[in-house]
Amino acid sequence: MIDETTVAFVSVNGNNKASEKAIFETIENAREVLEAGGTVIMDSTEDANRSWNKTGEALVQEGIGEPSGQTSKGYNYWGTNPENAIETGSETSENLLERKNLIPTVNPNVFVYNDLSGTEKAYKFIVDNNQDITFIYQLSLGQMQAMEKMTEAQFNSKKMKGNIQLRKFANSSSVGIITGQNSVADSFSKTDPKYFKALETEIEKSIAAINDVIEKNGKVAFSINGYGDPALMPKELFVYLSRRLFEEFQYLNPGSEFAKEVVQEVAKYQPVTDAEILAKFEGENNPLKC
């Protein structure tokens, strides 16, 4: 149901691959969200007007009209600034009073958390207001190995960036997924393919831990920002991670909307269109084919 609590990430395929129909439907979907009082988020004006996006994303933004503003990360938004909602706790919807900054999915045990601002204050707010939720964060293999040698106090004293900060506030009510070698930012981009199977094994360990929470009647929440950089992570690893997350939890990892293996899984649940998928999750104009 689309209402004032809806936060929609909107995009279309780039490189002249978006049909007129897809562009029209995406604009209509975005307008529907705005008319209901929700928020639409898209790439920055600069990114939208890159040569790759000019015949897709730029046309959608032109169709929606002048954005209301930009987030701290440079995204254009129409409607209410989603970062303000995170940090002020000013929501009035009964649904948001029950689930602060969590978006429901087709799986009743799975939510998506809104961590657009990425601040420590935002993560603490999300955890404090959803204490029955187990949060899924991303970390690097190096961070995981270092954490294994730390006490809880040592970990909590560290300055960190990204949604690994959730672990500081959620403690055992959190599960990490490795998405990088030495840092999340490297996305295994320089990792020898001979280690991919070992990395897939680590991913499966995290999936098993998440499933264990759900099997015990728990609920989990994944990041609205996704896991792994689709532009940097080797396609084999990114598609594997994304496919498994959808298979197990019906979580559509942003950037994986165009991967054949993921699309096939999505199709098993409902015959949605590309425009409908992209209106719900952020796509980076098919980064798997860049």
242 and 105 in one domain? yes
Of the listed ranges 37-51, 192-206, 266-280, the least confidently predicted one is: 266-280
In a domain, 27, yes or no: yes
**In this predicted structure, what is the pLDDT of residue 168?**
87
pLDDT of residue 240: 95
Average pLDDT over residues 104-121: 84
Asked which of 1-15, 100-114, 230-244 is least confident by mean pLDDT, the reply is 1-15
Tokens of 256: 């994986």
One domain, residues 112 and 59: no
- pLDDT recorded at residue 274: 43
What pLDDT does residue 221 have? 95
Domain co-membership, 227 together with 248? yes
Report yes or no: 289 and 13 within 8 Å, Cβ to Cβ: no
User: Does residue 92 lie in a domain region?
Assistant: no
Please give the Cα distance from 137 to 165 (Å, whole number). Answer: 8
Per-residue model confidence (pLDDT) at position 248: 93
Domain shared by 271 and 240, yes or no? no
Q: How confident is the model at residue 269 (pLDDT cuts 50, 70, 90)?
A: low
pTM of the full structure: 0.64
pLDDT band at residue 282 under the 50/70/90 scheme: very low
Q: Are 227 and 259 in contact (CB under 8 A)?
A: no
Question: 71: exposed, middle or buried (C-beta count within 10 Å: 0-12, 13-18, 19+)?
Answer: middle
Q: What is the pLDDT of residue 50?
A: 80
The confidence score (pLDDT) of residue 29 equals 83
pLDDT over threshold 50, residue 286 = no
Q: Is residue 32 part of a domain?
A: yes
Q: Does residue 267 belong to any structural domain of this protein?
A: yes
Query: Do residues 20 and 147 both lie within one domain?
Result: no
Give the type of residue at 280: K
Question: Tell me, what's the pLDDT at 98?
Answer: 54
Would you say residue 230 lies in a domain?
yes
Average pLDDT score over residue span 186-192: 95
Q: Both 241 and 259 in a single domain? A: no
- Model confidence at 232, pLDDT cuts 50, 70, 90, reads very high
pLDDT band at 215 (very low <50, low <70, confident <90, very high): very high
> Do 247 and 106 share a structural domain?
yes
Same domain, 245 and 112: yes
Place of tokens 């689930």: 99
Q: pLDDT class for 289, splitting at 50, 70, 90? A: very low
Q: What percent of the chain has pLDDT above 90?
A: 32
Q: Regarding predicted confidence, which is higher, 273 or 151?
A: 151
Q: What is the mean pLDDT of residues 141-152?
A: 86
237 compared with 255, residue with greater pLDDT: 237
Establish if 76 belongs to a structural domain: yes
Rounded distance, CA 17 to CA 278, Å? 14
Residues 171 and 185 in one domain: yes
| Structural domain span for residue 234 | 101-254
* Structure token pair of residue 45: 């004006």
The rounded distance, in Å, linking the Cα atoms of 115 and 20 is 32
Work out the angle between the directed axes of helices 235-249 and 196-215 (0-180°, nearest 10): 10
**Count of domains in the chain?**
2
CA dist 215 and 32 (Å) reads 36
Closest to 91 (Cα-Cα) out of 6, 195, 213: 6
Degrees to nearest 5, angle at CA 161 with 212 and 97: 60
Any domain includes 86 = no
The answer on 106 and 178 residing in a single domain is yes
Q: What are phi and psi of 10, to 5 degrees?
A: -120, 135
Burial string for 18-40 (b: 16+ CB within 10 Å, else e) reads beeebbebbbebbeebbeeebbb
Domain-located, residue 205: yes
pLDDT of residue 117: 75
Q: For residues 101 and 104, give the distance between their C-alpha atoms in angstroms, rounded to a whole number.
A: 10
Please name the residue ranges forming H helices in the chain. 20-35, 45-48, 57-64, 82-88, 94-98, 120-128, 141-147, 152-156, 165-170, 196-215, 235-249, 260-269, 274-280
Residue 248 sits in the same domain as residue 264: no
Both structure tokens of 203: 């991913």
Tell whether 50 and 142 lie within a shared domain: no
* pLDDT tens digits, one per residue of 47-84: 778 877 788 888 889 999 999 998 876 788 899 887 66
> What CA–CA distances, in Å, run from 18 to 33, 34, 43, 270?
21, 22, 16, 21
pLDDT recorded at residue 182 = 93
